Amino acid sequence: MILRLLSAALAAGFLAAVVATGLQVALTSPLIIEAERYESGTAHSAALPLVPARFEGALLHLAHGGESHDHGAPAWQPGEGLPRILFTGLATLVGGVGYALLLGAVMLALGRDPTPERALAFAVAGFVSVGLAPALGLPPELPGSEAAPLATRQAWWLMTALATGMGLYLIAIRRAAVTILGGLVLIVAPHIAGAPEVAAAKSELPAGLAAQFAARSLAVGFVFWAVIGLSFGWAWQVFGRERPARA
């Protein structure tokens, strides 16, 4: 069972990473490069080549609430071009395998057979928990954006993801009147408490650029989770059929 879970998670993580990395390179990395030009004060210079920028939270957008764009000592970044593509792909692969393992473990713990259709439904719930719900308070941010302290954002993101996941469980799995009410309260509570905010400050980043990045990031995140769900369900069935054949 454990070997089957690991095999399915590796297959799902790899397929999701391939798809998500391609989408990031095409859709979000050019926006990050443009934001970096504003951040460095070269927004009106000659156009830069469209190469992937820093890993933009493919762990998916995943935890954009905890993504840091602090302006202290410069952090290490991979080189331009292929190194940045490979780094983005590797980070996405690690996140994809981790999320696939979590997805499979949750389904097995709840006694659900990971068919592609059922795994897709659980994957959508995962995206809502760690992607969409936190983004309502902490949308994906471009470099140069003003943000609250990293530890505060991470704490709120974690609280929101856990509360949303538990709320969806109470609503979709337990399905009793009292649990549905409790689930709704859990989902709404982090947003009533409010995400960490920073004082309004002047930013060189165009509002349209930031909005476009947030929308594209969430779209890539949804595709990422959907591929994880479908691939995990498919791989689980495939590896389950291969075991008796080898006996």
Q: Which residues of 25-60 are buried (b: 16+ CB within 10 A; e: fewer)?
A: bebbbbbbbbbbbbbeeeeeeeeeeebbbbbbbbbb
Single out the residue of 153, 31, 28 nearest to residue 92, CA to CA.
28
- pLDDT of residue 56 exceeding 90: no
Indicate the pTM of the whole model. 0.82
- pLDDT of residue 240 exceeding 90: no
pLDDT of residue 205: 79
- pLDDT of residue 209 exceeding 50: yes
- Looking at the chain, the whole-number percentage of residues with pLDDT higher than 70 is 77
